[in-house]
Amino acid sequence: MSNYYLTILELEPGATKNDIKKAYRRLSKKYHPDLNKSPEAHQKFIELTEAYTFLNQIGPRPHHEPVAYDYNPEVDEYELWREKAKAKARYKAKEEAKMQRELIKRIFNLFRKYAIGLIVFNLLLIVDISMPYHDSDQTVTYKSPTFDVKTGKVRRASPTYDIIGFDDYMLTVDKGKSENIRIGQKAKVRSTFMFDKPLKAGFVVNGRHYQVKQVYNVYIVFWILIPLTFLILFLFQYRFKTLDTKLTLVIFMGFISCYQLYLFFYV
């Protein structure tokens, strides 16, 4: 590092206190504004005074030990700025990480409340599918692979399923299972007791009993979604501890629950 103030006083490294005082007296007389009328003299005198004041503040040393006046305000101020910038960056990163952790914890708290609703919902599904069924007399109102009676819109033809509409229900059945069913035909539709979700329909075709089953609703995938829901909630609460893993489970559970609700309300 250059000896900035020593250079101003025209001294070399290792100068003593006495050398500094002599140099200041000599140069201050040369550049004193009262004695030197040049435009640069005033600024030079200020720099000399600043250098002398700084160097004179350094504590006394033994007469045989030179003082290392290593200081450059431009370099040192830049280093000081860098240290402040790095400290500020570290503080900002720490605060951002803290805010992120707090946000994730808030998400987890909301998810725990949401999970209680999921547990109640799935328990109700278990109760509903376990209770005695409800049978009602219905009439076939339409039979089409493309028309949705709930929305009144044309649906994309399914290569797998046909749709049979009744007075109060709609069944999604395997393609080809509805060939013998006619619009206006009477049927007995079986549904769940609590949520009144259709499960199957029975017909009499040419003197023979004929039955079609619902193949796509929340109860058909019942044995997959409900145990999976409870498994994920158990892993979230008791097994996985890291925030990243828990957050992954929350996102995964969000997709599963949305799919489950879609099956319940729209299928």
CA dist., res. 246 & res. 239, Å (int): 9
E strand residue ranges, the chain: 134-139, 142-144, 147-148, 153-154, 161-165, 170-174, 186-191, 198-205, 208-213
Q: For every one of its 267 residues, what pLDDT tens digit does the chain have, with 9 covering 90 and above? A: 347 778 888 888 778 888 888 888 888 888 887 778 787 888 888 888 888 888 876 544 444 444 445 555 555 565 666 677 767 777 877 887 788 888 888 888 888 888 888 888 888 888 998 899 999 999 999 887 654 545 555 455 555 788 899 999 988 888 778 778 888 999 999 999 999 999 999 998 777 888 898 887 877 766 677 787 888 888 888 888 777 788 888 888 888 888 888 888 876
HSE-CB for 121 with a 13 A CA cutoff: 19
Q: Which amino acid is located at 1 in the chain?
A: M
Q: Give one DSSP letter per residue of 107-140, joined into a string.
A: HHHHHHHHHHHHHHHHHHHHHHHHSPPEEEEEE-
Q: What is the pLDDT of residue 223?
A: 66
Give the three-state DSSP class for 220: coil
Of all helices (H) and strands (E), which one includes residue 29? Answer: helix 17-31
Instruction: Name the one residue in this structure whose structure tokens are 């008791």.
Output: 238
